[in-house]
Structure 1
Amino acid sequence: MMDEYVERVARVLELDPAFSELPPASNLPRRRDRLLNIPELEMGMLDFLSLYGCELQYVIGEKNSVMGKVMQPLNRLRYEIRFIESGEECLSEITREDVRESLLKAIQSKKETLPIAIWNATWGIQEIEPLFTLAKGNYPVAPEGNPVSDLAIDANRLNDTVAMLLAGNLSPSLDFVGEVHQRWQAEHRAGQLVNSARLLIARLGDGTALLKERIEGRPLCLNGKPNNQSNIVQSMFFSVYIEKVQPYLATVKRAQEQLIDPLRRLATMQQSVMTAEFRRWQSRHLEAMGDESLWAQLDGAIADHTRAWQTLLEQCGLRPQA
């Protein structure tokens, strides 16, 4: 659709079309560049605390089991929360001051490293990689329903949960998070939106270059009076740009607001532990503003293209309104 649009613009303006390269983008950084190491408590302290009969004994026992040593990030987050909660409950049952002091230090240590466990259970998992893959084409034209509806609901719910956890409220249930991860693994919408942003930036830029070439060259109309060619140009403007291209622009921008923006918030609220590799990727693919942002570049391409059309048609007294 976008290639044909550039060709149609060139044809009605009696110019030769030129197609630019798509702006660069990349998949998520490799998992090893996203996953963070969670500092472990000293085994001596864990063994010491596990001697006491409160719930913490069983939590530590599970972590030290064979399965506990290979916990997936979501289960590791659950463990960290359970350690803090059961440890605080255990404090009232401990009478020895030295043991109490050791447990308080352990709980504080777990609270300090909890943001790392949260990061690993959101941005450090393998399941998020298919969501951002660039290998599944572009976002669909005129899709039935809303392809990002469930993903958007997931992202906003996850944002609320992460915000509460980071604020020290450990009560939110994590039962829904596994289903979110499964949906991320099955959907590719974020990567498709990135691909569409790249395509639109390039092809709108190609169209703008053609419009400016005609504006700066032979006038479309003399003395501001419409003619046969300007009528053809105006007809193409409405039948192709207004009826086909603009609705797709609106679809992509709406999906960006619904899905990319919540994912950006999910990353931004975890900036304190974000890896440098991920930070560079985020500035390109998630951020709505900034010189590196694809989404800011798309907004600029749309604005430039709109102005070029207005300027060209104004030569004939046919200026469209934004």
Structure 2
Amino acid sequence: MLVLTGCNPFNEAEPMMAEYLSRLARVLGSPAVSKSLELPSATTLPRRRDRVLEIPKLELGMLDFLSLYGCELQYVVGERNSVMGRVMQPINRLRYEIRFIQSAERCLQQIDDVELQAALKLAIASKRQTLPLAVWNATWGTEEIEKLFTLSKGYYPVAVDQNPVTDLALDLDQLNEMVSALNEQQLTVSLSDLGQIHQRWQAQFFAGQVINSARLLIATLNSGTDTLKARLEGRPLCLNGRPNNQSSIVQNFFFKIYIGEIQPYMSEVSRARDRLVRGFARLAEQQQPAMPDEFRHWYRRHLSEDAENSLWQQLDQAMMRHTRHWQDLLAQCGLRPGA
């Protein structure tokens, strides 16, 4: 009837989890669980002012003399010092830093003033050293990434026809290759697609939704495990390991609801984690030397799978515990899955 009336609770994540816990308690003859789950903590990205790194200014009075040599660097620096140049977006600042290095290195081949050459070599070395700061700002310091990681857009969708994060995952593969090349000071890497990647970040909310769904699953599975554990500590589901009417009801619920509804959603969230969250984890890990402390705490909680306080480690543990308790309960009746 719920399906016919268009109120199927398994069409959306939150009502699905509430329905699962309610039915689980009912088929096990346990007290009803609270309708409102306390989700594990999560926060939005650190404020932009805590994510954006300051790139040291280059003080080179001798650059004023470059016009005497007709050096391209003169025009690059002139653009930076213009009104628009002073408010460059992170992606354009990265392009500027790369152009500065490339133009300065070409300029070295065109001038013969020893003092000016020495100044340019120092400038090039300084710019190469601070390039990771510009790379960080053009990835984690952007406004666009805040939209992708917002926690205000609910949960990851249920029963999607295709993997909705495919394009974002492909973008991440490409972006991680860009960052890897820049880390190796390969300045010829193309940044032509970086703007489009930022635009897609601004138009999607999947990263935050996956994080929200991980939190919902952790809370649901832990609550369900408590219900299963209480039943295991009470009278056996079956006497002498022989199935009965109640065990048939429980087994039917296990396959129809847990295996048929909950596990597919768990798999969808896990696939999104594999493609999306791990891609962003790699993007952050590649830039560990530049990572601000404020961001490092956020990274360990929301992206890392190994950190002590990792959300994803909590999810993996919650899934394993819940599955094990289901197996132990059904084993009381000789119905352990896979046996």
TM-score per shorter chain, which class?
A: over 0.9
1:215 to 210, 214, 232: 232
1:246 is matched with which residue?
263
Structure 1 match to 2:33: 18
Q: What is the Cα deviation at residue 53 of structure 1?
A: 0.9
For 2:328, the aligned partner's letter is: T
The residue that corresponds to 1:56 in the other structure is: 73
Distance, in Å, in 2 between the alignment partners of 1:314 and 1:289 is 32
Say which SS state the counterpart of residue 18 (structure 1) adopts: coil
Contact conserved, 2:60 with 2:119, CA < 8 A, in 1? no
Cα-Cα RMSD: 1.1
Unaligned ranges ≥5, structure 1: none
1:180 is the counterpart of 2:193 = no
Are the counterparts in 2 of residues 226 and 316 from structure 1 also a CA contact under 8 Å? Answer: yes
Deviation at 1:145, TM superposition (A): 1.4
Q: Which moved more, 1:251-260 or 1:42-51?
A: 42-51
Correspondence 1:85-234 to 2 at 5 A: 85-234=102-251
1:290 to partner: Cα distance: 2.4
1:298 to 302, 315, 334: 315
Equivalent residues, number:
322
- Counterpart for residue 8 of structure 1: 23
Distance 2:150 2:62 in 1: 43
* Contact kept? 2:155, 2:213, Cα under 8 Å: yes
Deviation at 1:48, TM superposition (A): 3.9
> Does structure 2 retain, via aligned residues, the 8 Å contact 1:139–1:196?
yes
TM-score (norm 1): 0.98
Closer/same/farther in 2, CA of residues 103 and 318 from structure 1, 3 Å limit: same
Instruction: Report the Cα offset of residue 139 of structure 1.
Output: 0.2
TM-fit CA distance, 1:49: 4.1
Q: Using the TM superposition, give the Cα deviation of residue 43 of structure 1 relative to its aligned residue in structure 2, in angstroms.
A: 5.0
1:65-90 deviations in Å (ceiling 9; x for gaps): 11111111100000000000111111
* TM-score (normalised: structure 2): 0.93
Farther off after superposition, 287-296 or 309-318: 287-296
**Percent of residue pairs bearing the same amino acid type:** 61
Distance 2:164 2:66 in 1: 49
Please say if residues 49 and 103 of structure 1, whose CA atoms lie closer than 8 Å, have aligned partners that are also in contact: no
> Which residue of 221, 240, 258 maps to 2:275?
258
Match of 1:33 in 2: 50
> What residue ranges of structure 2 are gaps of 5+ in the alignment?
1-15
* CA positional deviation for 1:291: 2.0
CA–CA distance in 1 between the matches of 2:32 and 2:65? 75
For 1:110 and 1:153, how far apart are their aligned partners in 2?
30
Runs of 4+ in 1 over 3 A off after TM superposition: 48-52
Please tell me whether the aligned partners of residues 131 and 185 of structure 1 are also in contact (alpha carbons under 8 angstroms). yes
Q: Which amino acid is 1:248 matched to? A: Y
Deviation at 1:16, TM superposition (A): 1.3
